[in-house]
Amino acid sequence: MNLPKLYRTTAVRLALRYALVYALMLGLALAAFYWYSSRYVDSQLEAGLEQELRALTELFETGGMVGLAQAVRQRMQDGLHEGRFYALVSPAGEVLAGNLFEWPAGESVSLDAKVHRTWIEDDTMVGHLYDDDAYVPVVAREFPDGSRLLLAAGVEQAEALHEITEFLIEVLGVSVVLALIMSVILGRTILARMDTISRTAGDIMAGDLSQRVPVSGHNDEFDALAKRLNTMLDRIQQLIKGIREVTDNVAHDLRSPLSRLCNRLEVTLLEPRSEPEYREAISGGIEDAKALIKTFNAMLGIAQAEAGNHRTQWGRVDLNRLAVDLTDLYQPAARHKGQKLELTTRGSAEITGSRELLAQAIGNLLDNAIKYTPAGSGIRLEVKPSDAVAEVRVSDSGPGIPASERDHVLARFVRLDSSRHTPGNGLGLSLVQAVARLHKAELVLGDAGPGLLVSLRFPRHAVE
């Protein structure tokens, strides 16, 4: 176990801080308890001592010194001294009765019949009841004949208080240690979970984007975090894959027209040519370059639709109106190819989206239908709104796409072998797909029996 690392975890630091505060509070409570209870015990002791002194003083007043000495001795014999120490000494200092061997030496004992803490040496006491020399509550007085009486508090009550306090200090110690152990366990658990996330992040940084944070199945906040992170990673991986595809495809699809353009110009320069020949070569080059720009812009359009960041220009788009405008634009081209483009709309079909991108997507579908359907066939553009979705369908009676290849054609630059001879860059459907995804629409390629049916189902409400 790595202690410095453990200490750096928030959980351990928090736990340690709580343990410290807890120990401090408990210590304060303990000190207060000790102070108040020892004061209480002391006042009880003091009251007892003063009361005993008054009782013995009364005995002296009725029975004189002899009676007093007798009473003290009697208390020793009967064991009635209740843990107190007595010393009755003659004016000469000789002990007349009691369980102290001598009048305490050292510090002078004040004789004002009030309790004072006084230094008593251990060996002056019978039975050595105190473990050591100590300050002890003491009350003493002098009688008119010069003899003196001293009472000192016993030890039991004070000892009991000490024991309770010591026990409480032990409890405090044990609970602080327990808190420390708990914090370490807590810290290790959290560290272990964090480490798995951190390790995954490390693997991803090392280049393995397919790594995912393990989900423990406890459904706790760590699982929630892990799931969130994994969703984020999925999206990032998807975006990176998209970017990678774009660069691959740029390399692939722009390379051949670029080298064609370059070769054409180089070959033209090889030997002197007539002006019409130069013109021919240059305008050929310009056509190549324009085709490149077209492909390039189509790819940028897809990338932008996929990045999905033109939301600020979104608004309500009337799909019926858009369909009318697009039919209007494409109708002559279809008729030119001997095809019939028919538009069917029913009911209002407004959705929230980008007119620009939607026009481009539906336009691409019409482009494809016109391009890949033979002369004499029909093309239908339909807008079919229902409660939940607004559906745009483009169907043709051309050759269609075999079911097995329908997923495949959505990939960028894919052109089926059967369409190699028609011009195009294979980007049309990927743009449709990107626009559909951006609008949370469902893109389905189906069978128009015969022909291809492409359906875009837009949710009518709540596109974020």
Partner 1 sequence: MMHILLIEDDIQAAEYLVKGLGECGHVVDHAADGEGGLHLALTGQYEVIVVDRMLPGRDGLSIIRLLRADRNQTPALVLSALGEVDDRVAGLHAGGDDYLVKPYAFSELLARLDALSRRNHPAMQEQRLRVGDLVVDRQSQMVTRANKRIRLQPREFRLLEYLMRNAGRVVTRTMLLEHVWDFHFDPQTNVIDVQISRLRSKIDKGFALPLLHTVRGAGYKLSESP
Q: Is 327 in the site for partner 1 (CB under 8 A)?
A: no
**CA–CA separation, 16 and 224 (whole Å):** 27
**CA–CA separation, 47 and 221 (whole Å):** 63
Phi, psi for 175 (deg, rounded to 5): -70, -35
Q: Which stretch binds partner 1 (CB under 8 A): 79-87, 200-208, 217-225, 419-427?
A: 419-427
The amino acid at residue 400 is: G
Query: Considering the complex, what minimum distance in angstroms separates the CB of residue 182 from partner 1?
Result: 55
Q: Is 321 in the site for partner 1 (CB under 8 A)?
A: no
Q: Is 354 in the site for partner 1 (CB under 8 A)?
A: yes
Please give the DSSP secondary-structure letter assigned to residue 220. Answer: S
Which residue bears the tokens 């692939």? 252
**CA–CA separation, 167 and 171 (whole Å):** 6
Which residue in the set 54, 310, 340, 346 belongs to the binding site for partner 1 (CB under 8 A)? 310
Q: Is 199 in the site for partner 1 (CB under 8 A)?
A: no
How far, in Å, are 4, 19, 172, 190, 276 from residue 179 at the CA level?
Answer: 18, 6, 11, 16, 94
Q: For the chain, how many helices (H) and strands (E)?
A: 8, 12
Q: Is 356 in the site for partner 1 (CB under 8 A)?
A: yes
Q: Is 283 in the site for partner 1 (CB under 8 A)?
A: yes
Q: Is 258 in the site for partner 1 (CB under 8 A)?
A: no
- From the list 247, 258, 254, the residue with the least C-alpha distance to 302 is 247
Nearer to partner 1, 138 or 302 (CB): 302
Nearer to partner 1, 137 or 363 (CB): 363
Q: Is 357 in the site for partner 1 (CB under 8 A)?
A: yes
Contact yes or no for 124/85 (Cβ under 8 A)? no
Return the bridge partners of 316, or none. 352
Q: Is 367 in the site for partner 1 (CB under 8 A)?
A: yes
- From the list 106, 99, 105, 108, the residue with the least C-alpha distance to 151 is 99
Query: Considering the complex, what minimum distance in angstroms separates the CB of residue 328 from partner 1?
Result: 5
Which residue in the set 162, 290, 340, 408 belongs to the binding site for partner 1 (CB under 8 A)? 290
Nearer to partner 1, 332 or 376 (CB): 332
Q: Is 301 in the site for partner 1 (CB under 8 A)?
A: yes
List, as one string, the DSSP characters of 330-368.
HHHHHHHTT-EEEEEE-S--EEEE-HHHHHHHHHHHHHH
The amino acid at residue 332 is: P
Q: Is 325 in the site for partner 1 (CB under 8 A)?
A: yes
Q: Is 364 in the site for partner 1 (CB under 8 A)?
A: yes
Return the bridge partners of 136, or none. 118
Which residue in the set 363, 385, 398, 400 belongs to the binding site for partner 1 (CB under 8 A)? 363
Q: Which stretch binds partner 1 (CB under 8 A): 7-15, 48-56, 339-347, 422-430?
A: 422-430
Q: Is 336 in the site for partner 1 (CB under 8 A)?
A: yes
Q: Contact positions toward partner 1, by CB under 8 A?
A: 283, 286-287, 289-290, 293-294, 296-298, 300-301, 304, 309-310, 312-313, 325, 328-330, 332-333, 335-336, 354, 356-357, 359-360, 363-364, 367, 370-371, 423-425, 428
